[in-house]
Amino acid sequence: MVVETDLTDDEVDRIFRALADSTRRDIVRRSLAAEASVSELARAYDMSFAAVQKHVAILEGAGLVTKHPHGRERKVRGNPDAVRRAQALLDRYEQIWRARIDRLDALLAEDPE
């Protein structure tokens, strides 16, 4: 599977700012497992409905979740493509880091003579 990793700086900033909060990470996890209404999500947290709604709005702005009407409710669904794009970006950074470590290991392993 090829994952598009070309994210703008603004997209990267929005994604990682959104994921910097533990409640938002948990909402993403829950909404990837099964879609839920904001009311259903709010019951899982010790905070107001409005606070959860704000968290969902931040996640939606980052593209990590989507909301769609379902009867009188708005269901929240995780966006696995956005999560894959963020993971691909982190994988690229890991490759850079591992390549540097490999070069350092090679330098240290060289015969001093």
Amino acid sitting at position 63:
G
SS3 assignment, position 110: coil
Prediction pTM value: 0.80
- Give the side-chain half-sphere CA count within 13 A for 71: 3
| Tokens linked to 80 | 């696995």
State the greatest distance between any 2 C-alpha atoms of the chain, in Å, as a whole number: 77
Q: Is residue 3's pLDDT more than 80?
A: no
Note whether 22 and 59 are within 8 A (CB). no
Q: What is the pLDDT of residues 75-98, one digit of tens each?
A: 999 999 999 998 998 898 899 999
pLDDT attached to residue 2: 42
